[in-house]
Amino acid sequence: MILNVDLASEVAIYQQLRDQVVEAIADGALAAGSPLPATRTLAADFGINFHTVNKAYDLLRREGLIQLNRKTGAVVTRTVAGPPFPAEWTLRARTLLAEAVARGLPADEVLKTCQSILNSFATTQPEDAR
């Protein structure tokens, strides 16, 4: 898995790292049991503070996507827990869709794009999440 950070982006670096790991899990590039780079190694590779990487990993841990262990480091768990579609996700999706509407994009194009993105992930879902 290759992670990239854009130091000039308006998106916080920890959020960029978190989002890329989530997408790699959804794409199937990171399966359950896959190790992630050590925080200090990743921080050194990007020339960023290791606390930034820690923050990204902690978010992923709290979301149930990775486990952190002193011996094994960060490992993808991809647990299926909680409600099928948490309220927080609905709020985030609502904001993204509101942006599309505010820009005047046709609803059918928005739905087509959403379906296309979802379909790109659907083939890699674990059996118990379907």
For residue 91, CA distances in Å to 85, 86, 97 come to 11, 9, 10
**pLDDT tens for the 130 residues of the chain, in order:** 678 899 999 999 999 999 999 999 988 889 899 999 999 999 999 999 999 999 999 999 998 899 999 888 999 996 665 567 778 888 989 999 999 999 999 999 999 999 998 888 856 445 444 4
54 & 103 share domain: no
Residue 27 belongs to what domain range? 13-76
70 & 99 share domain: no
Domain count, the chain: 2
pTM recorded for the entire structure: 0.76
For residue 97, CA distances in Å to 1, 109, 115, 120 come to 29, 11, 13, 19
17 & 72 share domain: yes
- What is the distance between the alpha carbons of residues 22 and 40, in angstroms, rounded to a whole number? 20
Evaluate whether residue 117 is within a structural domain.
yes
51 & 92 share domain: no
